[in-house]
């Protein structure tokens, strides 16, 4: 089956291209061609004529705690992962890292087993796992259960190294206070992507962790030591070093001024968008449970009953729009932060985040005002 997408500007993962069409064959990208050839009838197949807007590679979300009414937790199995992936595909993220928030060793093992099964069964949209904790700094716990936060032990290290061998991607968020530099190096050698987060680190402590192999920062600005004039903290280290960093662009977690400062400091390099979505994603529920704690959904915010932020109530298309319309980011940069930038973070630029021949036809269509219009997964429309 051949599909010819016409009528929209084409974002190829790096730049917007005018006067082009996207050719898809049997669910796989075949080529980007000139509009004139398509109009002349050079290409057969189904013509998908779009009324303006932007056609982009499917968005990639590296921090997704849940969706479709469920959280990723110790009850995880392949079907729950399938549901979470499908829910986010309908919201524009055709590739995700389902994310486990700090939990018990047993829950961690259950999620790893479910993730391995999802990978072996090629669940659409499943890129791997993100384990956010439990090896964090309790001083910056955020919504994580402090009773479950703990230092990394040898058994934890062995578990993570084994998991990295069985998963396509394993990203682990940890705090330098909860691990040794040698443990970070061991994780990196095993193929784990180590991200720093939920930490009250000094800039020098963070930079030592980067030198040991950590190369990412989880939800920059949130749950970490802030930029000071004499102590730059975790934020300062992230902005000063050549590392990747996720950003929650929802108007709640980071002020627009903070986002502009991050974009200016890093010249956009390494920054990518995350939703930090919870069970509410893709539903109209107004509350749900995180373990034994109630999460409230009010006015675009997700909070514990004491007001502590507990994830975000946003999807990546809305984040792109917020970056462009409120923060003033260039459109190409905002789109790259949802496509090619997260792909680079997980060393997947060779297979994700751009339109290239032979890649799955995972496609997002945005209207001219950057609202989500339609989503295709492997050439099959799943949302409109």
Catalytic residue numbers read 276
Q: What is the 3-state secondary structure (H, E, C) of the chain?
A: CEEEEECCEEECCCCEECCEEEEEECCEEEEEEEHHHHHCCCCCCEEEECCCCEEEECEEEEEECEECCEECCCCCCHHHHHHHHHHHHHCCEEEEEEEEECCCHHHHHHHHHHHHHHHHCCCCCECCEEEECCCCCHHHCCCCCHHHCCCCCHHHHHHHHHHHHHCCCEEEEECHHHCCHHHHHHHHHCCCEEEECCECCCHHHHHHHHHHCCCEECCCCCCECCCCCCCCHHHHHHHHCCCEEEECCCCCCCCHHHHHHHHHHHCCCCEEECCCECCCCCCCCCEEEECCEEEEEECCEEEECCCCEEEECCCHHHHHHHHHHHHCCCHHHHHHCCCHHHHHHCCCCCCCCCCCCCCECCEEEECCCCCEEEEEECCEEEEC
């Amino acid at each position: 089956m051949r599909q010819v997408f016409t009528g929209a500007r084409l974002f190829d993962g790096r730049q917007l291209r005018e006067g082009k069409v996207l050719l898809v064959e049997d669910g796989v990208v075949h080529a980007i061609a000139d509009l004139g050839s398509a109009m002349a009838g050079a290409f057969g197949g189904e013509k998908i004529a779009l009324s303006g807007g932007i056609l982009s590679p499917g968005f990639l979300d590296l921090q997704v705690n849940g969706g479709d009414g469920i959280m990723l937790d110790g009850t995880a199995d392949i079907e729950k992962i399938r549901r979470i992936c499908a829910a986010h595909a309908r919201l524009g993220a055709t590739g995700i890292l389902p994310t486990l928030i700090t939990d018990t060793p047993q829950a961690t093992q259950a999620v790893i087993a479910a993730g391995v099964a999802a990978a072996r069964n090629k669940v659409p949209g499943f890129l791997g796992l993100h384990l956010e904790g439990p090896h964090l700094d309790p001083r910056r716990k955020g919504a994580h259960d402090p009773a479950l936060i703990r230092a990394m032990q040898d058994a934890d290290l062995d578990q993570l190294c084994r998991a990295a061998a069985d998963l396509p991607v394993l990203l682990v968020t940890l705090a330098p206070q909860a691990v040794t530099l040698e443990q970070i190096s061991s994780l990196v050698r095993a193929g784990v992507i180590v991200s720093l987060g939920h930490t009250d680190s000094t800039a020098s402590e963070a930079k030592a962790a980067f030198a040991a192999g950590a190369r990412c920062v989880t939800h920059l600005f949130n749950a970490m030591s802030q930029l000071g004039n004499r102590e730059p903290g975790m934020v300062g280290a992230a902005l000063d070093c050549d590392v990747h960093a996720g950003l929650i662009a929802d108007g709640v977690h980071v002020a627009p001024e903070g986002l502009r400062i991050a974009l200016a400091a890093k010249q956009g390099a390494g920054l990518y968008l995350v939703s930090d979505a919870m069970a509410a994603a893709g539903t109209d529920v107004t509350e749900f449970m995180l373990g034994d704690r109630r999460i409230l959904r009010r006015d675009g915010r997700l909070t514990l009953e004491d007001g502590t932020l507990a994830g975000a109530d946003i999807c990546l298309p809305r984040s792109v729009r917020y970056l462009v319309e409120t923060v003033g980011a260039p459109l190409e940069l905002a789109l790259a932060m949802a496509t090619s930038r997260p792909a680079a973070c997980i060393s997947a630029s060779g297979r994700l985040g751009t339109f290239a021949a032979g890649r799955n036809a995972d496609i997002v269509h945005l209207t001219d005002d950057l609202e989500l219009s339609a989503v295709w997964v492997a050439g099959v429309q799943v949302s409109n």
